[in-house]
Amino acid sequence: MEFNNSILAFERAQKSIPGGVNSPVRAFKSVGLNPVFVKKAKGTTITDLDGNQYIDCLASWGPMLFGHAHERILQAISEAAVNGTSFGAPSQYETEMAELIIKMVPSIEMVRMVSSGTEATMSAIRLARGYTGREAFVKFAGNYHGHGDSFLIKAGSGAMTLGIPNSPGITKGTAKDTLMAEYNNLPSVEALFLERGSEIAAVILEPVAGNMGVVVPTKEFLQGLRDLTTKYGALLIFDEVITGFRLARGGAQEYFGILPDLTTLGKIIGGGLPVGAYGGRKEIMEMMAPVGPVYQAGTLSGNPLAMAAGIAMLTMIDETKDLYSAMERKAARLEKGILENLKIAGIKGVVNRVGSMMTLFFTESPKVTNLDEAMTSDTERYASYFKQSLESGIYLAPSQFECLFVSYAHTDEEIDRMIDANLQALIKL
């Protein structure tokens, strides 16, 4: 494949955009390549500026359950745009979207729209602090909740520790209220509550980790967090920006049967447009202004185009009765093919999968259940694997520590092509 036009586009972009991209992972630094610049996408096919075509396994980082540029979503956007692209005032789109979310997500009784997943998680933490009157919260190493200051914190030397900033621009004062624990390690959370339980407003986590690669929680871990937060009067927050509506109609909380107090959503509820939301029990949500004292606002919150696209998306999810069974079947077949290919190629690896989300970790570790185990992966091998896959027309996440997403739009023939390309790439490593 030739990438001349993408190279030129990247050179041009670097002159006016820091690093040439508006989100760091897009720079392809971790795989040692120049980024591919996308010209268009339709269904499961991405086309770059050089005319190269790829089977898309990234799905815009998850939301494209029905593929790109779906006619029903495009029609909804078009019909909404005729009446205006932004109001900064209430519209019935917002109410209809809220009613759909409440109908579909088990724990949500009221919901507030925002414009991004980061905005949703920032607001949820503020709400938890306002509701409980406490300042500290617990997050897990390897979980990503957007780029809010409180979340860009790394663990110290032990499990029971104050967080320390991992980005310039974040104050030590901000970091002191972020307590770090180890994913899938309930004792690490119990230790924090024993020491500072009266100060902890919330525990926030990805109910299925998707930002250290896919890491699956144990049922005991999730139930333990539910029991622990209830015992100490803290809130349990599920960050379902990735898992919401992807793992099940009601997200990971439906999939695992454990209900949080607050849930953050994004990506899918905009049908591909910028959007986010947070919701939960009515008594908690009514702490938000203008009803309560906790303030959050946004001119573009509930944007009519994003709401119209999201309504179309959620309605399609609600109407497509075989959506999750079909994605499960396709993803299971892909997983089986990759595992067989690893044996054929004689390469050590772990495949973690939940529903239509999966990650192939190039590690000799027998399992990946937390960040430390994920970090044993051979990132140089993944970079070579990514390059070989790209050359074979398969568009994967440009990082070892991200997800592959199977969509409802992927055909059995495309799954076969992905399995074959996987084998060819593994053999060449």
pLDDT at 167: 81
Catalytic residue among 239, 324, 378, 385: 239
- Write phi, then psi, for 282 (nearest 5 degrees): -55, -45
Catalytic residue among 93, 131, 144, 278: 144
- 4-69+322-428 CATH, one of 3.90.1150.10, 3.40.309.10, 3.30.1490.20, 3.20.20.70: 3.90.1150.10
Contact 125, 132 (CB under 8 A): no
Interatomic CA distance for residues 378 and 382, integer angstroms: 6
Answer yes or no: are the C-beta atoms of 132 and 201 closer than 8 Å. Answer: yes
* pTM to 2 decimal places: 0.96
Distances (CA, A) of 308 to 33, 86, 276, 313, 335: 37, 12, 14, 9, 35
Q: Answer for the pair 68, 43: CB distance below 8 angstroms, yes or no.
A: yes
Cβ neighbour number for residue 289 with a 10 Å cutoff? 10
- The full set of domain ranges for the chain reads 4-69+322-428, 71-319
Active site residue 239: yes
Concerning whether 40 is annotated as a catalytic residue, the answer is no
Q: Choose the catalytic residue: 54, 183, 267, 330.
A: 267
- Residue 306 has a pLDDT of 97
> Residue 176's pLDDT is what?
86
Domain 71-319, CATH class in plain words:
alpha beta
DSSP assignment letter at 296: -
DSSP characters over 205-245: E-SSB-SSS-BPPPHHHHHHHHHHHHHHTPEEEEE-TTTBT
Residue 164 confidence (pLDDT) = 67
Residue 183 annotated as catalytic? no
Which residues of the chain have a pLDDT value below 70? 155-164
Q: Which residue is associated with the tokens 């499990």? A: 159
Nearest C-alpha neighbor of 44 from the set 373, 393, 399, 398 = 393
Q: What is the pLDDT of residue 157?
A: 39
Largest CA distance in the chain: 61
